[in-house]
Amino acid sequence: MQPEQAGDKPCAGFSSKRTGVGASGLAARLAGVKLEIVLSKPIPPWILAGGFVLTCAAGSINAVGFLGMHHQAISHMSGTVTVLSNELATGQFSLAWYAVMVVLAFFTGSVLSAVIIRQSALKLGRRYGVALMLESVLLIVASRLLAHGDYMGECLAAMACGLQNAMATHYSGAIIRTTHVTGIITDLGIAVGLKFTGEPIEKRRTGLLLVLLAGFFTGGILGSWGYTLLGFDTLLFPAALTGVAGGGYFAYKYFARRGMAES
């Protein structure tokens, strides 16, 4: 008899005959266990508070855009792209150019966010403070330009929203968008549908989505109310929110590092 080669006999621990699960199946199960562990972790308070503040800021910006910028959404681009399509189809090329500028401004804001933060996963320690302070400056300048009838103010407001929306795109399996609620409402609808079918839902993730939705709704109310009283100066409210959030993030990082150094 010839000696049995090591490569001729599968390892018992990973044999599909013994376990009924191949290597790919085992990897999938392990990935599922890892995801379940991640989703079971409590969501840190700073994420809930930050999410509410950012969606509140976006909701107020969008309200100002709807009331003062040709009934055009600023915090998301679906409506703007539709306006662009309509203006091109009807031959209003000069107006279409303005829509193109807004879309490009939002896109540029997303590019700046990626350059500053460099990662899409939400994690404490990244340069969110820099991005938030820049957003605050953009909104302040936008409010001044719009108050004087300069269309570039609308572009800067869109750039601020693009910057914010790209700051973090996911956390613990949840897709995070802080400048619009279409995905949030979709995910909440999926959760309700799963509940009806008896499937388990991740309550902490659902709670995060509800916080984001509440923030956007609150911002919309404050933005609409503010615009009737202050006009485009209402943009100073989200500018203050993002500026304070950026400063608070810098302070949090400083004291966290100081505590680690002393321990």
Query: For the residues of 225-243, what is the DSSP string, one character each?
Result: HHHHHHGGGGGHHHHHHHH
- The per-residue pLDDT for 37 is 40
In our burial notation (b when 16+ CB lie closer than 10 A, e otherwise), range 68-103 reads bbeebbbbbbebbeebbeebeeeeeeeebebbebbb
- The per-residue pLDDT for 17 is 47
- The per-residue pLDDT for 15 is 47
Residue type, 144: R
CATH of domain 45-255: 1.20.1250
C-alpha 205/C-alpha 187 separation (Å) is 10
Percentage helix, strand, coil for the chain under 3-state DSSP, each rounded to 5: 75, 0, 25
- The per-residue pLDDT for 217 is 98
DSSP, collapsed to helix, strand or coil, labels residue 171 as strand
pTM, whole model, 2 decimals?
A: 0.78
C-alpha 139/C-alpha 161 separation (Å) is 9
Residue listed under structure tokens 């379940």:
36
- The per-residue pLDDT for 86 is 93
The parts of the chain modelled with pLDDT lower than 50 are 1-4, 6-7, 10-19, 28, 30-39
In degrees rounded to 5, what are phi and psi of residue 121? -75, 135
- The per-residue pLDDT for 46 is 79
